[in-house]
Structure 1
């Protein structure tokens, strides 16, 4: 990564505009009318990619310095796919209050905040409190980016099988950041909450368990209406959809217990919960998080366009309506050419980010959170 000027600095006149005395006029204008910062500085097209290094990829809590390569890579993807400038910021603290304080203090320099690789359950509180405190979009990609692409993929998978989302019984394996967000996004997108079963490392989440965190207790209150208990095998018995976001392995026998013409999204990287070849023996449609198998569910399909659209609309937050609109746009890119091995757009498809950006901006305006 590098920082580059967007105007020439080849003469005294250029210098007088970029620095003194010309820059003072811009400062005075922004001081008088603060919203002009979006027009006359990088704020209107730049986001901060913020981590505390506590949950980096599958590497775990490796700290701020070791997290920097991932944040730089994320910034490069923002620029390549969404035309959004991004600055990686790795914080040398994992205290919730300190993170919120630092990001709040930095926020005037950016048009949005992309939270990245922050462990659960701390990530939920950090996002919620920053979203309440700041007048710009705050988006935890590990939660919502994954969830948006899962919803897009499931829409197209259901279409291929001539099914409706409201007819599907879904199992989400994993109740961390991605699992919680996937559950909420699928419900927002049309899956019935009572037909969703969430499984964590200790088994099915249900109201009779005494070991639930507040986030998991909320899931227990809204999902699993049948009151299922047990482990992943019991959850998958007769299920139509498996979404794996846990990293744990799922036995072939459990997948074999799913309903006919099932859908398996095994998204753990680099080792899926169930190998795609194994899943294909029992499911009609399979997707993974890997680039070497068909139907890769990749967050890069979501976050560049989401921030591009949010910045264009000068949205003050990212709403559920904007997330669902993003999912619909991703699904729509390949809706006319669906195949079992291609119901998710390629991560390199140049049509995706513009489509997502347009849909997100329109949803922001429709939802009353846009400033232009």
Structure 2
């Protein structure tokens, strides 16, 4: 009675174990096909990526254990089938085949091909269990492409123009654009080593209002897709568009399949971004028509010492030119002199220029083309009258 109980228990364990293994294998394979792909959690993915040898060892060990268990349960099933079959008469070749299957072996008898092929097939499948489970369980890197949608700032749209006009009306044109220009200003970030590396193909990164930008794309584009700015408001004396950074793109939504989440080792996002650049063409001119009827005036301001004596004079220049767009263009400059009547020409160079159309003109003009005329003076007097044509462009980059 005890022998029958052990036999029944062994057979029950074999049935339940084989059923669970088959359900686990087919369930895992079905999940992989349905999820497409089945991504691992971040911690597990990081472990797999950083320790491939340990991962291979663990997968092989699990595959070996599962294969041995499957072969054992299959052997018990063949033993039980052979026991029931032996209640009736059985040929010697079929008995030999049944015994071989219970021992995970095979028979070869060319006079009985069917038992030979059947035992060889079962033997081959059981020997392939380790490699099959290893191939099924081994994690591999995959490229998962999903559609991303969102709202991005279009510099060429009427909505952007309308929003910009509202900002100009609210803040004042002078506060947003600025109505003065430094005599000469070379951005330190783009000079020296940075400029030399940029000429050899290295990225040119600079900061503006707390956000990093990359000029290597031919335009001014954010260097990073995520938020890299500041929440502080910009001061009123900044020139250019008054902003303090932001997230690119805004309101990003990724269309994942229902039930899937973004997880794994890394994520790469490809974005189409807009930038601002310009085509600039400069030429030497000897025509008086290109000079825009230059006119200059100055206002000397004394800078006194503590004892009341004058240390030096600051000359505030107004450089005016007649633009064909209508309104005259006025640029403001500051120079230094030791006199209120005589400029310090021996030690200073003056490079004033006029921009047409006038930057503060708001009606009857187009911002698609600019003309810049530079008329050098004093120590830069050897430079000829220079005219530059500037055509702003909106660039597209991935």
TM class by shorter-chain length? under 0.3
* TM-score in terms of structure 2 length: 0.20
Q: Which has the larger radius of gyration?
A: 2
* TM-score in terms of structure 1 length: 0.21
Structure with the largest fraction of helix: 1
Structure with the largest fraction of strand: 2
